[in-house]
Homo-oligomer: A and B are copies of this chain.
């Protein structure tokens, strides 16, 4: 909790509560009170200033009404996210953001990137971190292996084998600070001048990164099974980036037949590769999970990428890449001189977390929780009748809703926004220059993306209730 060094001027024209208000706003704007910081309780601040508690209440009410701070039940008042960030950053930073945030904060944000941390075993994570640091493990402060520490790679190899059927030795695993970084490394491993095929629509960030790295981009159409291999074969691409477990943003789950077709395409020529981004593979809600493509790759053509950012916490910057054996030599000669990007303390903590079964338990709990949200979304939208079609369901943390009652996606978004609800048009989540198509011929212009991962059950219920009425035929 922050101590405030606030002095009131009893004789001033400004009322006492306004002085408190001014002071705290100035502290927030100057960055001395930071996002998430807890303010003193109204009681303790009143005591400190020798004024009545209701004066402090008044100031806090005003701050809360204007979005500077928020009350959390039983916990106190905290400096808010959005407003603070927008205000303390210098003007030009805000202007450079491609899409400025709307002024009115959304009450319910169906963001496809939301993650629910409410069941995260913070105490366990804290305890493991503490033990790691207490263990007299001085070597954790010394440089580690460029690929990541052997013990963590060993643990990840075992986990991937049992959860995703991935066949690999710890020596084929490269640990890095996020998927972006690993894709940057990959550029040096597979070499420049490649033509990369991506599903259309696809994951914007990977698209932008590949473009920035100078790859030629081939956008390949999708059908209900995912990337069309006939289009792929007709393109100049020699690398295909796919998300077979739950494609982003369409939510398509690639069936085994299509996976085999892709593997055959890769095996047909030297130096062809499939980058399997195993996005959302941890969260499948119906049927048996399909093993990774890497599991059935006998030609050493699959580069497998996954992350703990979604399954554990976005701020845990640890991803992993499994390379075919034949590419390891290139990794060592071209990237082996680079230091690891992940702190060894974090590696050791994660290693304990997985190795001692906490990760598995947490995943199972979360899968159940996310399934509950998923089912609620599905049944809720189905009750709206045949005017709304759901697709991309059964996995991950988002689904697509297509309107069949004449509403366009941007109208849906706008109407929702007036009610404090945020949904995303499919178009805004994809690369703008390209014309995209949706599997099963669903009209792109009438489709919105709704994520449910970060919302509470109550918020989902409330959100669906409001959307139902504001998306009614007008």
Residue A129 CB within 8 A of the other chain: yes
8 Å CB interface, A146-204 against B: 150-151, 154, 169-171, 177-178, 180-181, 184, 188, 192, 204
User: How far apart sit A403 and B48, CA to CA, in the bound complex (Å)?
Assistant: 70
What is the CA–CA distance of A150 and B144 in the complex, to the nearest angstrom? 28
| Residues of B with C-beta under 8 A to A34 | 150-151
Known: A117-B142, A154-B31, A343-B343. Is A96-B337 also a contact (CB below 8 A)? no
| Interface assignment of A137: CB less than 8 Å from any CB of chain B | yes
Q: Are A317 and B340 in contact (CB under 8 A)?
A: yes
Please measure, in the bound complex, the distance between the C-alpha atom of A129 and the C-alpha atom of B125, giving whole angstroms. Answer: 12
Confirm or deny: A339 has a beta carbon within 8 angstroms of a beta carbon on chain B.
yes
> Is A317 a contact of B342 with CB atoms below 8 Å?
yes
**Are A338 and B90 CB-contacts (below 8 A) given A133-B126, A141-B313?**
no
Tell yes or no: A134 within 8 A of B by CB. Answer: yes
Instruction: Choose, from A205-213, A363-371, A419-427, the stretch at the interface.
Output: A205-213
Residue of B nearest to A120 (CB): B141
A22 at the interface (CB under 8 A from B): no
Q: A141 contacts which chain B residues (CB < 8 A)?
A: 117, 120, 122, 313-316
Residues of B within 8 A of A136 (CB): 38, 75
Given A126-B130, A150-B89, A151-B31, A137–B343 Cβ distance below 8 Å? no
Partner-binding segment picked from A13-21, A257-265, A327-335: A327-335
Partner of A93, one of B85, B178, B332, B346: B332
Q: Are B337 and A205 in contact (CB under 8 A)?
A: yes
Could you say which of B122, B204, B338, B345 contacts A337, with CB atoms under 8 Å apart? B204
Query: In the complex, which residues 17-51 of chain A have their Cβ closer than 8 Å to any Cβ of chain B?
Result: 31, 34-36, 38
Return the chain B residue nearest A342 by Cβ.
B317
A22 shortest CB reach to chain B, Å: 22
CA of A314 to CA of B340, assembled, Å: 10
| Cβ–Cβ contact A142 & B314, under 8 A | yes
Decide if A143 is an interface residue (CB 8 Å cutoff). Answer: yes
Once the chains bind, are B333 and A317 in contact (CB under 8 Å)?
Answer: no
Q: Contact string, A337-353, partner B, CB cutoff 8 A, digits 1/0?
A: 11111111110000000
Which residues of chain B have C-beta atoms less than 8 A from A181's C-beta? 177, 181, 341
Nearest B residue to A329 by beta-carbon distance?
B96
Q: What range describes how many residues of A lie at the interface?
A: 35 or more
C-alpha gap A142/B342 in the complex (Å): 17
Residue contact B342 to A177, C-beta cutoff 8 Å: yes
The digit string for A428-441, where 1 denotes a CB below 8 A from any CB of B, is 00000000000000
Q: How far is the CA of A316 from the CA of B171 in the complex (A)?
A: 23
Q: Does A216 contact B (CB under 8 A)?
A: no
How far, in angstroms, from A15 to B159 measured CA to CA in the complex? Answer: 38
| CB of A283, distance to nearest CB on chain B (Å) | 18
**Which residues of B lie under 8 Å from residue A31 when comparing CB positions?**
150-151, 154, 170
Assess the A338–B205 pair: CB atoms within 8 A.
yes
Contact indicator B171/A90 (Cβ below 8 Å): yes
Q: Is A92 in contact with B341, judged by CB distance below 8 angstroms?
A: no
Question: Considering the chains assembled together, what is the distance between the CA atoms of A458 and B266 in angstroms?
Answer: 59
Identity of the chain B residue whose Cβ is nearest the Cβ of A188 in the assembled complex: B212
Candidates B36, B93, B143; contact of A314 at CB < 8 Å: B143
Between-chain CB contacts (< 8 Å), 15 pairs: A36-B138, A36-B139, A85-B150, A89-B171, A90-B169, A96-B333, A117-B141, A126-B133, A130-B133, A140-B315, A141-B315, A141-B316, A178-B338, A180-B341, A212-B334
Which residues in A have some Cβ–Cβ distance to B below 8 Å?
A: 31, 34-36, 38, 75, 81, 85, 88-90, 92-93, 96-97, 113, 115, 117, 120, 122, 125-126, 129-130, 133-134, 136-145, 150-151, 154, 169-171, 177-178, 180-181, 184, 188, 192, 204-205, 208-209, 212, 214, 309, 313-317, 328-329, 332-346
Q: Which 9 A-B pairs have the closest CB atoms?
A: A177-B341, A141-B313, A36-B139, A143-B314, A96-B332, A315-B344, A177-B177, A126-B133, A180-B338
